[in-house]
């Protein structure tokens, strides 16, 4: 077949499908984390270069050169996937929330994207609900509101930093310790986030996780009562670590959600965790380290 008869524009589109399909397959198999796409977004100008390259050559006398566009994009993605994580940033800012009045339960809520998140529970004394640090400085703030005997601590991005995600930048690093002295409800809205959430020592009442393209490890302790964990979103991988013998049940109403390592809850007794999967292409792994 001569070069003139080859539909190089179709070849170019086919390369995109093959390449992106390969990376998504590596994501679903746990070989490449979903947060890979967070790192790749910093190189979005490469897509414009590839588009311009195609416009120049697809109707020229050398249409075969149009395939250099997808090769450039897929080569960049491969380079990103092979890079080791960078060193932790040095510019840290301290975060702290005090108890403004007597409370007997509380909620920690947060919304973040393109971040590395570490949450833990420990004894913070009678005066604090949460403390930790964030880098780079100025990217996150903690706010507390109270109503009756319940407090809500929110992790938010200051208004003057919205829009900075359009520029190539390193992911935010968030490390927070939450008090283990009060019943806790956790509500997180995340995207393109890697994280480890260790609440084995916290008295949890409920966990709600929303978002897409997240890779999280959730370590929980022996529950004092039945606890519901809800996941809403797509393309998330959650590793749920619970003590041996802890009952775990799952319910999936979404599309192509997968559950690995589900214990036989019928053979177990006592309080347990019930995990609801809603969305599509989510992967839950239940383990007892």
Q: What residue has token string 């973040």?
A: 112
Residue 262 buriedness (CB in 10 A; 0-12 / 13-18 / 19+): middle
Answer whether the bond into residue 79 is a cis peptide, omega within 30°. Answer: no
Q: What is the pTM of this model?
A: 0.76
Mapped onto helix, strand or coil, the DSSP state of residue 175 is strand
pLDDT digits (tens, 9 = 90+) for 194-222: 899 999 999 999 999 999 989 999 999 99
Q: Which helix (H) or strand (E) holds 195?
A: strand 184-199
Q: Rounded to an integer, what distance in angstroms lies between the CA atom of residue 181 and that of residue 184?
A: 9
pLDDT digits (tens, 9 = 90+) for 159-178: 544 444 444 456 788 999 99
Mapped onto helix, strand or coil, the DSSP state of residue 272 is coil
Pairing of strands 141-147, 150-156: antiparallel
pLDDT digits (tens, 9 = 90+) for 8-52: 778 888 888 888 888 888 877 778 877 778 778 778 788 888 888
CA distances from 202 to 7, 44, 288 (A): 60, 40, 18
Residues 6 or more apart whose Cβ sits within 8 Å of residue 173? 88, 89, 115, 116, 134, 135
Q: Are 99 and 127 in contact (CB under 8 A)?
A: yes
Q: Rounded to an integer, what distance in angstroms lies between the CA atom of residue 155 and that of residue 160?
A: 15
User: 97: which DSSP letter?
Assistant: E
pLDDT digits (tens, 9 = 90+) for 53-96: 777 877 777 777 778 888 888 888 888 888 755 544 558 889 99
């Amino acid at each position: 077949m001569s070069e003139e008869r080859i539909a190089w524009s179709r070849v170019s589109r086919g390369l995109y499908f093959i390449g992106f399909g390969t990376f998504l397959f590596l994501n679903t198999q746990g070989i490449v984390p979903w947060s890979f796409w967070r790192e790749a977004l910093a190189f979005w100008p490469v897509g414009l270069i590839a588009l311009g390259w195609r416009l120049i050559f697809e109707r020229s006398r050398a249409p075969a050169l149009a395939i250099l566009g997808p090769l450039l994009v897929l080569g960049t993605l491969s380079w990103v996937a092979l890079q080791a994580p960078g060193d932790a940033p040095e510019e840290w800012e301290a975060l702290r929330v005090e108890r403004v009045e007597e409370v007997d339960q509380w909620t920690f809520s947060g919304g973040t994207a393109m971040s590395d998140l570490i949450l833990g529970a420990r004894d913070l004394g009678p005066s604090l609900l949460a403390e930790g640090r964030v880098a780079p400085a100025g990217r996150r703030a903690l706010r507390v509101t109270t109503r009756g005997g319940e407090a809500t601590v929110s992790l938010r991005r200051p208004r003057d930093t919205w829009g900075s995600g359009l520029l190539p930048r390193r992911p935010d690093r968030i490390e927070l310790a939450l008090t283990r002295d009060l019943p806790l409800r956790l509500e997180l809205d995340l995207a393109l986030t890697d994280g480890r959430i260790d609440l084995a020592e916290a008295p949890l009442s409920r966990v709600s996780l929303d978002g897409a393209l997240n890779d999280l490890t959730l370590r929980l302790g022996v529950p004092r009562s039945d606890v519901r964990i809800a996941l809403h979103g797509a393309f998330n991988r959650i590793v749920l670590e619970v003590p041996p013998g802890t009952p775990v049940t799952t319910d999936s109403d979404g599309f192509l959600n997968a559950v690995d390592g589900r214990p036989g809850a019928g053979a177990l007794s006592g309080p347990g965790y019930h995990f609801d999967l809603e969305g599509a292409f989510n992967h839950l792994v239940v383990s007892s380290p």
